[in-house]
Structure formats: structure tokens, C-alpha cells
């Protein structure tokens, strides 16, 4: 038996709670993992509260990512004792996930934990930090260098934004952070932001073209914020879009694309091919200041994740939350 946050839906309604689960309830998979840590992402909040159609199979263990130690494996790539990390692949949505003391998954979904990262650090990074790294890699592939100019990071106090700032700053980029919580400006500067602006500068309807300000953008907000970020991107620049906190719409214009030749990259983190996935995790181990990561991470127990799921939807969480599933 082990503990898990179990999401159920039946005639009594939708509910989530910590339960004792028999190992026989684990789904099929080649690798069984003893989970050390998970985390709470925005998608987890939607799943726990039922405020979004995230979970599509019931009952299900919540948690879209986890890090832990292999307990048993039917795949030659993994053996008992190996440390692994998982993000994406529908785990926590259609396949029982990581807000549990055990998980069983396909071997193809796992990534060996890079040397230099602990399982706790891996979940301080989590899906949010993994997505942030994918955004940075997209800007790099586009040819944007530190000398190219300012990089805008929207939703800066969130998990993606916080990690993106820390990575970009360590790589030498000048980062401008956009946030709705200007009282956190010193915290964001501590992560490496050179300047902080209010989200109201970008969140209202804007012009098709604005003053050229950004060599590149990491956007986790969407809607008007994304449209205005594109409108203010310099000639030949790029925008990496990975979120939709403000909305799924894109109330913008083709003007920045055809008059300034900018590029909009859609960043998807669930089905990322293994080579890119492993590269991203290796880069996170190398290019993310672990001291800064610790500064915006707090640890909670498994039962506390239920409240954290509500808090993240309400915008009450700064940075990253690590869930010790064994506490």
C-alpha cells in the first residue's frame, strides 16, 4: 500500500483526496518508480480542483511530473536504483501520475536524472522549468545571443518565468521581467532580471506594431500580452510562447511577422522527443543556478498539495513548490 492523491468522478461528483492505494491499482508500464518528489503546476491545479478538463480517466493519481528511484524494471535501459525524472506524456491526465509514493510508466517516458541534480532539485525545476528551458533553446536556435538585446519574460513570478529569468541571466542575457506583482520586483532582480515592468504595460489591447524593444520573448501568458510582445519585438527577433494564463486567444496582427520578419515559436512540453528532452535536462543541470532555484522553491507534504492546487490557480504561489510525497 502507498499514499496518493486520487481524483475521482462519479455520481457523487468530482473530488480529490489523499488515499491509501494498493500497488495493484498502478497502470501498466515497464518501470515502477519509488517517487521522492513531485510538484504543483498550473495543470495540476486544474486537475485537483476540477476547474479544467485535465483528467480524462477516473480514478487517477494526480501529478504531471515526478522524480524518484527505479524500484523495478522490465526494460534494459533502467535497473533498480537508477534515478529518473518524468514530465509530460499525459501522466496525471490519462495515466496515473506523480503525486503519489509510487508510479508505473513506460520506459520511453523517463529521462535519467543528469549528474549534479538531486530528485528534489529536479522537481523544483519540474514541467515549468523544463518548459522554460525549451523556450531558451528555441531562442538560441533562432540565433539570439546576449548581445542581441533585451529578452522579455512575461508571467515572471510563475514557475516558467522564474526559471527562465534565472537561466537567461546566467547565460549573460539582459532580462526584462513582466509581472502583475510589482512588490516582488526585488525578488525578480535577485533571480537576474535587469528591469521589472508591470503586466498592465502589455495586458491591454495594443497597436499592431509598437516600438521595437525585445530581441526575444519568453511568454507564458498569451492573449493580449502575447500580441503586444510580438508587436514590440525587434526586426528578425523571436517569441517563444508556452502558456495561456491570460487566455487562448491571439488578438494580434500579422504586421510584426511580415514587416519585421519576427518568428513565433510554439513551445510544447508534453510530447517532446527524447533527444530534445534529454538535452533540455542536461542544460538545466548546467545552466540553472541551483542557489537561485532554491531561493524561489518551498517544500510541502503530499496532503498540502490539495490546497496548493487551489492557490496556484488563484495566483497565490510565487516560484516553485516541491511536494515531498513521503511527508
291-306 residue pLDDT tens: 999 988 999 999 999 9
Q: Which of 276, 286, 268, 285 is nearest to 83 (CA)?
A: 285
- pLDDT, averaged across the chain: 96
Average pLDDT over residues 102-120: 97
Judged against a pLDDT cut of 90, whether residue 316 lies above it is answered with no
- Measured CA to CA, the distance from residue 71 to residue 68 in angstroms comes to 9
Average pLDDT over residues 176-186: 94
pLDDT confidence tier of residue 84, bands split at 50, 70 and 90: very high
pLDDT the model gives residue 315: 82
Question: 84-107: buried (b, 16+ CB within 10 Å) or exposed (e) per residue?
Answer: bbbbbbebbbebbbbbbbbbbbbb
**Three-class SS of 61-87:** ECCCEEEEEEEEECCCCCCCCCEEEEE
Average pLDDT over residues 122-151: 97
Give all domains of the chain, ordered by start, each with its CATH number. Answer: 2-113+296-324 (3.90.180.10), 126-266 (3.40.50.720)
φ, ψ of residue 113 in degrees (nearest 5): -65, 125
Average pLDDT over residues 197-224: 97
pLDDT confidence tier of residue 25, bands split at 50, 70 and 90: very high
pLDDT the model gives residue 124: 96
Evaluated on CA atoms 28, 87, 222, 239, the torsion sign reads negative
Average pLDDT over residues 119-130: 96
pLDDT the model gives residue 254: 97
pLDDT confidence tier of residue 199, bands split at 50, 70 and 90: very high
CA distances to 31, 65, 87, 154 from 68, in Å: 12, 10, 12, 31
Judged against a pLDDT cut of 90, whether residue 76 lies above it is answered with yes
Q: Is 138 helix (H, G, I), strand (E, B) or coil?
A: helix
Judged against a pLDDT cut of 90, whether residue 319 lies above it is answered with no
Length of the chain: 327
Q: Assess contact for 46 and 313: CB atoms under 8 A.
A: yes
pLDDT the model gives residue 295: 87
Judged against a pLDDT cut of 90, whether residue 48 lies above it is answered with yes
* E-assigned strand segments in 40-168: 60-61, 65-73, 83-87, 102-105, 111-112, 151-153
pLDDT confidence tier of residue 166, bands split at 50, 70 and 90: very high
Amino acid at each position: 500500500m502507498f499514499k496518493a492523491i486520487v481524483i475521482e468522478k462519479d455520481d457523487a461528483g468530482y473530488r480529490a483526496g489523499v488515499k491509501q492505494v494498493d500497488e495493484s491499482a498502478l497502470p501498466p508500464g515497464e518501470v515502477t518508480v519509488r517517487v521522492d518528489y513531485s510538484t504543483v503546476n498550473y495543470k495540476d491545479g486544474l486537475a485537483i480542483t476540477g476547474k479544467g478538463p485535465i483528467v480524462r480517466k477516473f480514478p487517477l493519481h494526480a501529478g504531471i511530473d515526478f522524480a524518484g528511484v527505479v524500484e523495478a524494471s522490465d526494460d534494459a535501459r533502467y535497473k533498480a536504483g537508477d534515478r529518473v525524472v518524468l514530465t509530460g506524456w499525459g501522466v496525471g491526465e490519462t495515466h496515473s501520475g506523480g503525486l503519489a509514493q509510487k508510479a508505473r510508466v513506460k520506459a520511453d517516458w523517463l529521462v535519467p536524472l543528469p549528474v549534479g541534480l538531486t530528485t528534489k532539485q529536479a522537481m523544483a525545476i519540474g514541467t515549468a522549468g523544463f518548459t522554460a528551458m525549451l523556450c531558451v533553446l528555441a531562442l538560441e536556435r533562432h540565433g539570439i545571443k546576449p548581445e542581441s538585446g533585451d529578452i522579455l519574460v512575461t508571467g515572471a513570478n510563475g514557475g516558467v518565468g522564474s526559471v527562465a529569468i534565472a537561466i537567461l541571466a546566467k547565460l549573460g542575457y539582459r532580462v526584462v521581467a513582466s509581472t502583475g506583482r510589482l512588490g516582488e520586483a526585488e525578488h525578480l532582480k535577485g533571480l537576474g532580471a535587469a528591469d521589472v515592468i508591470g503586466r498592465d504595460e502589455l495586458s491591454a489591447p495594443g497597436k499592431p506594431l509598437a516600438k521595437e524593444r525585445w530581441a526575444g520573448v519568453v511568454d507564458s501568458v498569451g492573449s493580449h500580452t502575447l500580441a503586444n510582445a510580438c508587436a514590440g519585438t525587434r526586426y528578425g527577433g523571436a517569441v517563444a510562447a508556452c502558456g495561456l494564463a491570460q487566455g487562448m486567444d491571439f488578438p494580434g496582427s500579422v504586421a510584426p511577422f511580415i514587416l519585421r520578419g519576427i518568428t513565433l515559436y510554439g513551445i510544447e512540453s508534453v510530447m517532446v522527443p527524447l533527444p530534445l528532452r534529454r538535452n533540455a535536462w542536461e542544460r538545466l543541470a548546467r545552466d540553472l543556478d541551483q542557489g537561485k532555484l532554491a531561493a524561489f522553491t518551498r517544500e510541502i507534504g503530499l496532503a498540502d498539495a490539495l490546497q496548493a492546487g487551489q492557490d496556484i490557480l488563484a495566483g497565490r504561489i510565487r516560484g516553485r513548490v516541491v511536494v515531498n510525497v513521503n511527508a
